[in-house]
Amino acid sequence: MIRLKVNRRSNVLLYAEMIIALLFFVISFAVIIRVFASADSLERRSRQRQSAALCAQSIAEAYSVSGDVQKAVSLALGADLRDFTGSAEIGLDSGFYPADSSDVILRLDEQKQDTAAGIYSELVVEFFDNSGDDEELIYSLKCGAYVPGGAAVG
């Protein structure tokens, strides 16, 4: 009789400990999962910004050498911009390749200034994240080119 009572008490203690432990685990796991999730989203955003910066740098470098937006975009992304008239929008996929489904939007805005001896122009390259409800700016770069009558100056 006494042994049975002791066993029952031990089982009750064990169940109580299990319930408390489970509660503790659930609460701490929720916090840990949040930390993992924020690390994952930060990493994804960082990677996206890195890709955007690389693309923008490629476009800027090609633009400052050629002074031609169409050529710069064609060299950097392989996209065709035949009807470019000062500003354009290109849809890109998550790997930053031109695509119909646009996870990322590339906006180009060119301002030309006719100087006495040539043409000085500025290009704004902007990447927007289009995967959410609102467009969010990922990266923006402003670069310039000078075309002295003939070819641009690098």
User: Which residues contact another protein by CB under 8 A?
Assistant: 7, 10-11, 13-14, 17-18, 20-21, 24-25, 28-29, 32, 35-36, 38-40, 42-43, 45-46, 49-50, 53, 56-57, 60, 64, 115-118, 120, 122, 139-146, 148-151, 153-154
DSSP state of 115: -
Q: Is 72 within 8 Å of 66 (Cβ atoms)?
A: yes
Query: Could you tell me the smallest distance in angstroms from the CB atom of residue 107 to another protein?
Result: 16
Please report how close the Cβ of residue 112 comes to another protein at its closest, in angstroms: 12
Closest distance of CB 21 from another protein, Å: 5
139 beta partners: 127
- φ, ψ (nearest 5 deg) of residue 131: -75, -25
C-beta closer to another protein: residue 95 or 100: 95
Least Cβ distance, residue 137 to another protein (angstroms):
12
* Closer to another protein by Cβ: residue 20 or 80: 20
Cross-strand pairs, 114: 119
User: Reduced to 3 states, what is the DSSP secondary structure of residue 11?
Assistant: helix
Work out how close the CB of 118 gets to another protein at its nearest, in angstroms, rounded to a whole number. 6
Measured from the CB atom, the residue of 29 and 97 that comes closer to another protein is: 29
Looking at the Cβ atoms of 8 and 80, the one nearer to another protein is: 8
Q: Using only C-alpha atoms, what is the Rg of the chain?
A: 29
What one-letter code names the amino acid at 27? I
129 DSSP β-pair partners: 104, 136
The angle subtended at Cα 29 by Cα 24 and Cα 18, nearest 5°, is 30
